[in-house]
């Protein structure tokens, strides 16, 4: 018996390191488990530890209340060394007409300005946050080629997160659809000159460059597709600024710039008002469009100097304007913007009673300060000497429209902002 006890003591002494090792491993496992599963209120901190407390700047967090109420669209452009999120090399979908560097634009300072609202900060565009908000949704840009310009900007910004699939293109490349498979997000461009029905004006068998515009009939290019759309972004203006004939109820009621003795010149503002009213009324009357978020993107100014498109006008500036440098308080651009704003507000008041949401991307003021952002002569110009002072270079100041868009969507969805 004594011999057995002596052997047991010898065994324990010989295996004590092994027991200590087993105890140490068990204690370490318990400590790691506790650190990983402890409540957020307990701040486990260790040197080089991967755990980040919930109030860290790298976590998702809601915006401050004052930021949520801040007017995003009143501010100024300030210098930004960082520049854009993409380049004309990294984004493969930039159209030639907006690829200004491809067409020998040499100055680059215009890329280094960011929009600063007076009362808050506008977050840098975060493609992952955008796609997370839009997961499983369909977004339509409805309008003219400037509307398409915004979609192309968004496509480049989102492509830094996921490469989209080109799903559809019509023969004239006016209707496009792109899909982001990982997020099941679909984005489409629906071409419409006036948002309402129109046809080219024919005189003596020849086209005149003007249109017969039926202000009380929505354009079938976009209206039938609305039931599958979650976000509809409406914009139009440039096609109204030419000689057009205006109809309601099938009857001629006036014109724009026609200078005919028996036809009342009602002006672009009247036509813009009626067209947007018809479009927004259609949305509120649509039985299959419940839950859609409708956004107005206000008029984007064309900024020709010393002439017009056809008379040698140009846009050669290389830096932004300050707010106090805008001439005539924005002139007719602000007049048309105010008309659009009145129509979206009227639609919002009606829509909120039936569950429809309306909001605004009020870009006019910001873009009046950016005459430096147009292609000018630096585009795929089939007519030598013509400057494009309507569309926007990519990358360029147009990218802020989609920073506005992300922030409006985030506010509408109450989605937390992902800090970088």
Please identify every residue annotated as catalytic.
145, 388, 391
Query: Does residue 369 contact residue 327 with C-beta atoms inside 8 Å?
Result: no
Query: Does residue 395 contact residue 152 with C-beta atoms inside 8 Å?
Result: no
176-180 and 75-79: which strand pairing?
unpaired
Separation between Cα atoms, residue 359 and residue 347, nearest integer Å: 10
- For 110-230, where are the E strands, in sequence order? 113-117, 138-143, 165-169, 176-180, 185-191, 196-203, 206-218
Separation between Cα atoms, residue 313 and residue 27, nearest integer Å: 78
φ/ψ of residue 151, rounded to 5: -60, -40
Identify the CA nearest to 330 among candidates 302, 351, 361: 302
CB atoms within 10 A of CB 257: 12
206-218 and 196-203: which strand pairing?
antiparallel
Separation between Cα atoms, residue 32 and residue 22, nearest integer Å: 16
Q: Which residues of 292-325 are buried (b: 16+ CB within 10 A; e: fewer)?
A: bbbbbbbbbbbbbeeeeeeeebbbebeebbeeee
CB atoms within 10 A of CB 139: 23
Taking every pair of Cα atoms in the chain, the longest distance, rounded to a whole number of angstroms, is: 131
- For 244-306, where are the E strands, in sequence order? 244-248, 251-256, 293-297
DSSP 150-176: HHHHHHHHHTTT-PPEEEEE-TTS--E
Name residue 202's beta-bridge partners. Answer: 207
Cα Rg of the chain, angstroms: 29
Query: Does residue 317 contact residue 392 with C-beta atoms inside 8 Å?
Result: no
Is the preceding omega at residue 395 within 30 degrees of 0, hence cis? yes
Both tokens assigned to 38: 């402890």
Query: Does residue 291 contact residue 341 with C-beta atoms inside 8 Å?
Result: no
């Amino acid at each position: 018996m004594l011999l057995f006890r002596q052997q047991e003591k010898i065994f324990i002494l010989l295996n004590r390191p092994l027991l200590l090792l087993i105890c140490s491993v068990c204690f370490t496992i318990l400590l790691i488990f506790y650190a990983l599963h402890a409540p957020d209120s307990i701040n486990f901190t260790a040197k080089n530890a991967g755990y980040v407390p919930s109030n860290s700047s790298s976590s998702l967090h809601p915006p401050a209340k004052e930021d949520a109420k801040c007017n995003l669209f009143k501010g100024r452009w300030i210098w930004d060394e960082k520049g854009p999120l993409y380049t004309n090399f990294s984004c493969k979908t930039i159209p030639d007409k907006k690829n200004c560097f491809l067409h020998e634009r040499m100055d680059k300072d215009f890329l280094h300005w960011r929009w600063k609202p007076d009362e808050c900060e506008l977050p840098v565009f975060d493609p992952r946050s955008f796609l997370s908000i839009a997961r499983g949704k369909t977004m339509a840009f409805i309008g003219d080629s400037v509307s398409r310009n915004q979609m192309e900007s968004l496509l480049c910004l989102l492509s830094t997160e996921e490469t989209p699939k080109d799903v559809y293109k019509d023969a004239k490349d006016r209707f496009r659809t792109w899909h982001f498979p990982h997020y099941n997000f679909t984005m489409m461009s629906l071409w419409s000159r006036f948002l309402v029905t129109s046809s080219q004006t024919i005189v003596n068998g020849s086209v005149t460059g003007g249109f017969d515009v039926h202000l009380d009939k929505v354009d079938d290019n976009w209206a039938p597709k609305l039931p599958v759309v979650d976000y509809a972004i409406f914009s139009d203006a440039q096609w109204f600024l030419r000689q057009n004939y205006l109809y309601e109820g099938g009857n001629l009621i006036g014109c724009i710039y026609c200078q005919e003795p028996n036809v009342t010149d009602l002006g672009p503002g009247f036509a813009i008002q009626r067209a947007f009213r018809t479009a927004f009324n259609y949305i509120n009357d649509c039985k299959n469009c419940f839950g859609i978020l409708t956004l107005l993107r206000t008029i984007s100014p064309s900024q020709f100097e010393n002439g017009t498109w056809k008379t040698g006008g140009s846009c050669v500036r290389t830096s932004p304007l300050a707010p106090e440098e805008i001439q005539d308080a924005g002139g007719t651009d602000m007049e048309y913007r105010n008309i659009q704003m009145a129509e979206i507000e009227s639609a919002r008041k009606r829509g909120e009673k039936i569950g429809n949401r309306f909001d605004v991307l009020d870009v006019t003021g910001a873009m009046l300060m950016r005459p430096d952002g147009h292609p000018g002569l630096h585009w795929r110009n089939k007519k030598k000497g013509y400057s494009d002072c309507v569309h926007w270079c990519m990358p360029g100041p147009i990218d802020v429209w989609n920073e506005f868009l992300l922030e409006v969507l985030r506010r509408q969805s109450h989605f937390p902002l992902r800090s970088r």
